[in-house]
Amino acid sequence: MSRVVAVPPSPLRAFWLKWRFHINVLLLLIPLGFMPKYFADAALFRGDTGLGERVAGQVQVGPWSLTLAEFRNEGPSPDPAGPMKFFNAALCDNCAEQVKATYLRIGKPRSLRAAGVIFFGTPYRMGAALPVPERTPADAELWVTMEGWDGTMHQGSIPLSQASPATIAWLNKQGVKP
Amino acid sequence: MSKKSRSKLWFLVHSWLALPIWFFVLIVCVTGTLAVVSQEIVWLANPDIRASKPSDDAEPLSFDQVIAAIGRDEPKAIVRSIIRPDESHFALTVGLSYPDGRTVEAYANPYTGAIQGISPSFNFQQFTRALHGWWLVPFTHGYSWGWYLVSLLGLPLLASLVTGLVVYKRFWKGFLRPTLRIRHGARIFWGDFHRLCGIWSIWFIAVISITGTWFLIQAILGDNQISISSEPIVPVIARDKVPLSAPGVPAPMIALDEAIKIATQRIPGLDATFAFLPLNAYSHLQIGGRGWYPLMFQTAQLNPYNGEIAVSHLLSDRSPLEFVTESMRPLHTGDFGGLWIKLIWAFFGLVLSMMVLSGLLIWTKRTALATLNALKREAKGQRAPIAKRAESSEVHS
Amino acid sequence: MNMMHPARVAAALLCAGFSSPALAHNPMCECKEIPGEQIQCKGGFSDGSGAPGVTLDVIGYDETILVPGKLGEDSTLTFKKPSAEFYVLFDAGPGHVVEIDQADIQPQ
C-alpha cells in the first residue's frame, strides 16, 4: 500500500518505498547462477563430456571387460530406497553382442539372481543406480557380473576406493554404523 | 465492515498478491509462453527438424523402415527410441546412442528416414522449459526447490483471479460492453486493459493456476513417495521369459512394426506415435500413443522376444482421479491438439504476461498520482485528511 | 525403468508427458522379527507403490530355497524364522533385487 503520507521520509525510507516492489528482480540471479551448472549437466547427460564426470578405469570380467565411470564425482545421493550411487559403463568393443546383461554390486554376489543392480542403456553407454549401504567397509570391492546369451556368468571386481573415492570419503564421513 | 472498506480490503489483497514479486511472475509467464511454442520456434530456426516431403506422393515410413534407413546411414548408431511428433511438419525425434558414448536426439525425415541433424547442445526447447518449470535449479534428490518456487505461484494466481473478479463489480457486463479508453491518460488505459484482458482470460487463468497448483501437489506427493498411479509396476522381464540362445548370438526379437500391430490390436483406437526400445535384455519394449481422449497417452510394454504384452496402461485402466491428474500437464502446456491449441495458449500466455505488467503500471501510476496529491495538499498545510483521501481514492478506478 | 537420473526424470516430466519409462522404480524391502519366531517382510518400490505378488524367497547360505514366497495383497509376507542361516531375497526381476541378510533383521 502506498503509505506515501505527509511526513517527509528519510532518504533511506524513500529509497525503500521507491524500490521495495522491484527487489524481486534479484530473483533472476537464481537462474543466472545456475546456468553454468545447467549447461554442464546437459552436456553430461548427452555424453558430450564423456561417460561420466570421472572414469574409474577398465574392469576385466572373464573374457569381457567394461569401462566404468562415476556419473558424478561425488558420494551417493539420498533415495527412498537408500543412498544411491550412479555409475555409467561402456562394454568393450567386441563384447557388445556377447553380453546379455551386466550387473553391479558391492561385495561378491551369492548368485546370478543376487548379482545386484542391472545396467540400462546401450553397450556404448549404460547406467546403473547402485545402492550403497551406510555400513559398507572402506575396503569393499565393487563386483561386476556379466551374463552371456547362453546363460554363462563371469565376474570381476574393482576396489570401491578405485571405482569411487568420493563414495569412500562419504562412508568415512558417515562413520561406522552399528 | 462497510461495503466500501470491504471492497478496499479485497483490492488490497488483489494488489499484494503479485506486486511484491511482479518481475518473477512476469518472467515465469513470458518463459511459459515461449515454452508453449518452443518447438515451433526451433522449427523456424532449424531446418533439421522440418519434415520436408521428397515428393508430393511420398508416404511416411514405418518405424522399422526408419530404423533400417538409419542402419544404412549410420551402421554403428543404436536406436533407443522413436517419437512421431503430433504435428506432421515435424521430423521424427530419434534417440540415438553413438559408439563414442553420446546419447542424443536426432531428427529423422519421416519419409526417407534420413538423419537430418542431431539436436544442438543448446536445446532451446528444453532450456525454456527448464527456466519456466524450475528456474534452472538442479534436481539433486527429489524435486528441485526451483520447481516448488515456480509452482507455488499457482496459488497467488488463483487468488488473483478470484479477488480480481470480486473487486471488478459486475464483471460480466464487461463482456457485453468492452471498454478500452485510449484517450483518457495512461492510468485509465491500463486499468481498462487490465480488466478487459482479465475477463477474457478467466478460463485461461483458471486453467494455468489450477494446473500450476497441481505441479506443486505432484512434487509434494513425489517427494513423500505417495503414488496415485494405477499402473502395475513390472520393472523388468522375468529371467525365465527371456530365451537362452547360443553364445554371442542375441536372442531374436520381434520386429517393431509387428509389436506396434500387437499393441494396436490390444488397445483399440491406439494411434501409436512413440516407441521406446528395450534398454537391456530384460527390458520391455514400450509402444504408446493417444486414444480417443487427447490429453492422455496409452502404453503397452511388450516382451520383445515373443510379443506378449506384460503391462498395458489404457484409458479404461485409469481411475477417475488419474483422468484429472494426468490431464493437468497437457492442459498447462497446451500440447494436446496441434498447432492451433498451442497458438491459443501462447496468445493467452502473452495476455497474462501483459496483465502482470499492466497491473504493475496501474499501481505505479496510482501511487504516483496519490503521492502528487499528497504533496500538493501538504503544501497547503492540510496534513491529516490528505493521506486518508489519497488512500481511499485508490480503491476504485 | 530403474536407472533414471533425477534430472532426466524432471526433463521427462515436463517435456514429453510419456510417463512410465521415466520414473524411478527402485525396489525396497524391509524385514522385522515379530512375535512367535516369525519374520515379516514388506516390499515396494521407491515411488511409493506396493509390490503385491512379487517374489520374495528365503534362501539358505547354501543357496537352497527355504521358503519360496510371493508378497500378499498388502505387499507383505510373513514366514517362520528358519533354523538354518538364511537371507531374504526380494526379487522383482533381474537386477531388481533387495537382499537382506539374517544379521540385518532386527530382533524384537
Q: What is the 3-state secondary structure (H, E, C) of chain B?
A: CCHHHHHHHHHHHHHHHHHHHHHHHHHHHHHHHHHHCHHHHHHHHCHHHECCCCCCCCCCCCHHHHHHHHHHHCCCCEEEEEECCCCCCECEEEEEECCCCCEEEEEECCCCCCEEEECCCCCHHHHHHHHHHHCCCCCCCCCCHHHHHHHCCHHHHHHHHHHHHHHCCCCCHHHHCCCCCCCCCHHHHHHHHHHHHHHHCHHHHHHHHHHHHHHHHHHHHHHCCCCCCCCCCCCCCCHHHCCCCCCCCCCCCCCHHHHHHHHHHHCCCCEEEEEECCCCCCCCEEEEEECCCCCCEEEEEECCCCCCEEEEECHHHCCHHHHHHHHHHHHHHCCCCCHHHHHHHHHHHHHHHHHHHHHHHHHHHHHHHHHHHHHHHHHCCCHHHHHHHHHHCCCCC
Q: Which of C7, C24, C48 sits opposite A41 (nearest CB)?
A: C7
- The fold adopted by the segment(s) A54-174 is Immunoglobulin-like (2.60.40)
Residue B385 has pLDDT above 90, yes or no: no
Query: How many interface pairs between A and C have CB atoms less than 8 angstroms apart?
Result: 68
Scanning C17-46 for CB atoms below 8 A from B yields 17-21, 25, 27, 45-46
Could you tell me if the ipTM is greater than 0.85? yes
Enumerate the residues of chain B whose CB falls inside 8 A of the CB of residue C1.
Answer: 235, 279, 283
How many whole angstroms separate alpha carbon C17 and alpha carbon B112?
Answer: 27
Domain that holds residue C79: 26-104
The pLDDT assigned to B269 comes to 86
In words, the CATH class of domain B239-317 is: alpha beta
Enumerate the residues of chain A whose CB falls inside 8 A of the CB of residue C3.
Answer: 86, 117, 119-121, 126-129
The pLDDT assigned to B363 comes to 87
Q: Where is pLDDT greater, at B173 or B387?
A: B173
In a domain, C58, yes or no: yes
Strand partners, B106: B94, B118
| Residue A121 Cα, gap to closest chain C Cα (Å) | 9
Predicted confidence band of residue B394 (pLDDT cuts 50, 70, 90): very low
Query: How many interface pairs between A and B have CB atoms less than 8 angstroms apart?
Result: 158
In chain A, what are the domain boundaries? 11-49, 54-174
> Residue C66: which CATH number?
2.60.40
**Contact call for A103 and C95, based on CB within 8 A:** yes
Enumerate the residues of chain C whose CB falls inside 8 A of the CB of residue A103.
Answer: 94-95
The pLDDT assigned to B231 comes to 84
Predicted confidence band of residue C61 (pLDDT cuts 50, 70, 90): very high
How many whole angstroms separate alpha carbon C41 and alpha carbon C76?
Answer: 5
Residue C11 has pLDDT above 80, yes or no: no
The pLDDT assigned to B4 comes to 78
For residue range B93-110, what is the model confidence (pLDDT) as tens digits? Answer: 999 999 999 999 999 999
- Average of pLDDT values for A137-151? 96
Enumerate the residues of chain B whose CB falls inside 8 A of the CB of residue C21.
Answer: 276, 286
Q: What is the CATH code of the structural domain delimited by B47-119?
A: 3.10.450
CA distances from B334 to A58, B39, B132 (A): 47, 12, 15
Interface test with B, best of A39, A149, A152, A153 (most B CBs within 10 A): A149
Predicted confidence band of residue A130 (pLDDT cuts 50, 70, 90): very high
Residue B370 has pLDDT above 50, yes or no: yes
Q: How much of chain B, in percent, has pLDDT values that exceed 90?
A: 78
**Contact call for A5 and B100, based on CB within 8 A:** no
Q: Which of A81, A110, A128 sits opposite C28 (nearest CB)?
A: A81
In a domain, C35, yes or no: yes
The pLDDT assigned to C8 comes to 43
For residue range C23-56, what is the model confidence (pLDDT) as tens digits? Answer: 468 999 999 999 999 999 999 999 889 999 999 9
Enumerate the residues of chain C whose CB falls inside 8 A of the CB of residue A119.
Answer: 3, 95
Scanning B105-124 for CB atoms below 8 A from C yields none
Q: Which of B140, B141, B374 sits opposite A6 (nearest CB)?
A: B374
Enumerate the residues of chain B whose CB falls inside 8 A of the CB of residue C13.
Answer: 329
* Angle, alpha carbons B302-B307-B309 (nearest 5°): 40
Enumerate the residues of chain A whose CB falls inside 8 A of the CB of residue C46.
Answer: 79-81
**Contact call for C10 and B279, based on CB within 8 A:** no
Determine if residue B312 is left, alpha or beta; phi over 0 gives left, psi from -120 to 50 gives alpha, anything else beta. beta
Interface test with C, best of A46, A51, A120, A122 (most C CBs within 10 A): A120
Q: Residue B192: which residues within 8 A CB-CB, separation 6 or more?
A: B179, B180, B181
CA-nearest residue of chain C to B332? C14
For residue range B18-27, what is the model confidence (pLDDT) as tens digits? Answer: 999 999 999 9
Q: What is the pLDDT of chain B when averaged over all its residues? A: 91
Residue B255 has pLDDT above 70, yes or no: yes
Residue C82 has pLDDT above 80, yes or no: yes
CA-nearest residue of chain C to A145? C95
Residue B63 has pLDDT above 60, yes or no: yes
Q: What is the DSSP string of C32-68?
A: EEETTTEEEEEEEETTS-B-TT-EEEEEETTS-EEEE
- Average of pLDDT values for B50-66? 95
**Contact call for C20 and B313, based on CB within 8 A:** yes
- Average of pLDDT values for B248-258? 96
The pLDDT assigned to A8 comes to 65
| Residue A91 Cα, gap to closest chain B Cα (Å) | 10
**Which chains contact C through at least 3 pairs of Cβ atoms less than 8 Å apart?**
A, B
Predicted model pTM: 0.89
The pLDDT assigned to C5 comes to 43
The pLDDT assigned to C15 comes to 39
Predicted confidence band of residue A112 (pLDDT cuts 50, 70, 90): very high
- Average of pLDDT values for B57-84? 96
Residue B284 has pLDDT above 90, yes or no: yes
In a domain, C72, yes or no: yes
Question: How many structural domains is chain C composed of?
Answer: 1
The pLDDT assigned to B140 comes to 82
